[in-house]
Copies of this chain bind each other. A is one copy, B any other.
Amino acid sequence: MSAAYERLVARLKRAHILGTVAGLLGWDEQVNLPPDSADQRAEQSALLAELHHAAASDPEIGRLLAEVEKEVCHLLSDKLSEDVDEKVVWREAKKDYERVVKLPAEFVAEKARLSSAAYHGWAAAKGKSDFGAFAPFLEKHLEMAKQEAAYLGWGDRAYDYAIDKHDPGMTAAKITELFAELKAGLVPLVRAIAASPVRARTDIFKGFPVEAQREFLREVTERLGFNYRRGRIDVSLHPFCEGSGADIRMTTRFDADNPLDSLFSSIHETGHGLYEQGLPLAAQGTPLGQNAGMGVHESQSRLWENQVSRSRAFWAFFEPRFREKFPAQLAAVSSEELYLAVNEVAPTLIRVDSDEVHYNLHIILRFEIERRLFSGELAVADLPAAWNALSQELLGLTPTSDKVGVLQDVHWSGGAFGYFPSYCLGNMMAAQLWFAVRAKYPELDTDFEKGDFARLLGWLRAEIHEQGRRYEMGELVRRVTGEELTPKYLLRYLQERYAPLYLK
């Protein structure tokens, strides 16, 4: 490695470390912060954000990138050398650097101010179920999102820019195509299940002591492979996973009458945590030690949460353990009742409460709305009507109010457009990986029945985690599965899992 390259890496790591400290402040705010300490935390976080921005936009990084570019330029047009470490670091670091320096500081500050005001505006509007009160914030965010894309040189492709921020290389046109195929397959399945007389019983979960829930999910997440010597799990209002490298912090929440909520949300966060723990530690702070984007991240959390942990093989091992922890509570519940409850399908207006069959329809709805908003087909004022019509079309339900309709999600209050599609892209990728790894290792079910998940994790480590940001999602899926990203495996997986339960 050249001296310039080493200096570049040192600067990148410095910015990265500041980012991890800012992340820890955020984790602590959700997990530990005393109720009246929020103002002080806001000051700390604002200063760290400022220092992180200064480190990431350090002009020395720009100079070093130019020097390194000269060194790697002979590789630039060579497709075969696309994934040489130095080239990957240069390419991705340059992309990050330009995103940081091309946005005027005043624009960034204005977006932060707008997001803060819009968050409170959204919360108030949601409380009153009054979209009109939130609309002006959304108008302004939309305008700023277009301005941001223009600063970055994306011209009139503002929505593509928003998508690319979350899933590099992905476009609205590509997603439109994928979602159309997915929708065509999903709607009939949903309709068929809705017509089925089979209903999961969820009233069987009453009075599950929190301490026993905690012990059980600790055992599960540890067996899945989460390394508690380099991470921990705590309690927060909303589950999340934060951190990078050697210190990954997940959270969950407990409800004595809903043990599956904390179990499955913990497994979901474990999927995120396993990905972060699997990124190459030695490359920490460089793109080679970073995740490949939101969609790939979500593929990891969903694979563990859904494909693995809702499977019969998983429950073959864990059901006796679950019963050991809650013998009285589960005494009158049969194995089939339990397994059906784990795989409950029932439509709901609320995305975050949705089962995995309906979930993707919630996303298709949001993508459709965002796409039309950015193209100008849809005016902000007409959003509730468009939302409600799509909800009826896709879910068979019309929201009774904006609160449970267009105002349900927090994302838009932060101007986070292009974020929703990642969830669904992640679901597709998870299913596609699932079929690929099972074709390679037919013995996986036997592993799971023994409580052994090492073979699956080892494969994900080698194929996905250790690649860092080397490949964009599309390229990564091609390399690992031999096919383009496609919804057909997600549809096949949902069919194979849910048809035997509901369409007997």
Contact = CB atoms under 8 A, between A and B. Distances in A.
Interface string A221-255: 00000011111100000000000011100000000
A483 B271 CA distance: 65
A36 interface: yes
Given A17-B47, A20-B44, A51-B51, A247 B37 contact: yes
A229 B44 contact: no
A283 interface: no
A400 interface: no
Interface stretch (A24-32, A76-84, A148-156, A325-333): A24-32
A160 to B, nearest CB: 36
A41 B229 contact: no
A494 to B, nearest CB: 36
A278 to B, nearest CB: 15
Which label, helix, strand, loop or mixed, suits the secondary structure of the A interface? helix
A34 interface: yes
A154 to B, nearest CB: 34
A496 interface: no
A377 interface: no
Copy tally for this chain in the complex stands at 2
24 contacts: A14-B47, A17-B43, A17-B47, A18-B47, A20-B40, A20-B44, A21-B44, A21-B48, A24-B24, A24-B28, A24-B44, A28-B28, A34-B228, A34-B229, A34-B246, A35-B229, A36-B230, A36-B246, A37-B230, A37-B231, A40-B245, A40-B247, A41-B247, A51-B51
A39 interface: yes
A144 to B, nearest CB: 28
Nearest to A48: B21
Nearest to A50: B14
Nearest to A40: B246
A363 to B, nearest CB: 34
A33 interface: yes
A228 B35 CA distance: 8
A226 B20 CA distance: 31
A460 to B, nearest CB: 21
Contacts of A32: 232
A234 to B, nearest CB: 8
Contacts of A40: 20, 245-247, 284
Nearest to A17: B47
A230 B35 CA distance: 7
A222 to B, nearest CB: 13
A181 to B, nearest CB: 43
Contacts of A39: 246
A229 B284 CA distance: 37
Contacts of A227: 36
Contact of A229 (B28, B36, B232): B36
A284 B284 CA distance: 35
A51 to B, nearest CB: 7
Given A25-B24, A28-B24, A28-B28, A17 B44 contact: yes
B245 A34 contact: no
A20 B33 CA distance: 14
Nearest to A41: B247
Contacts of A41: 247
Interface in A195-209: none
Contacts of A232: 32, 34
A27 to B, nearest CB: 9
Contacts of A20: 40, 44
A456 B34 CA distance: 25
A105 to B, nearest CB: 17
A43 B18 CA distance: 10
Interface centre among A28, A34, A227, A230 (most CB of B within 10 A): A34
Which 4 residue pairs of A and B lie closest in terms of their CB atoms, listed nearest first? A37-B247, A36-B229, A40-B246, A37-B246
A51 B391 CA distance: 51
Contacts of A284: 40
Contacts of A18: 47
Contacts of A43: 17
Given A17-B43, A39-B246, A230 B34 contact: yes
Interface string A47-63: 11001000000000000
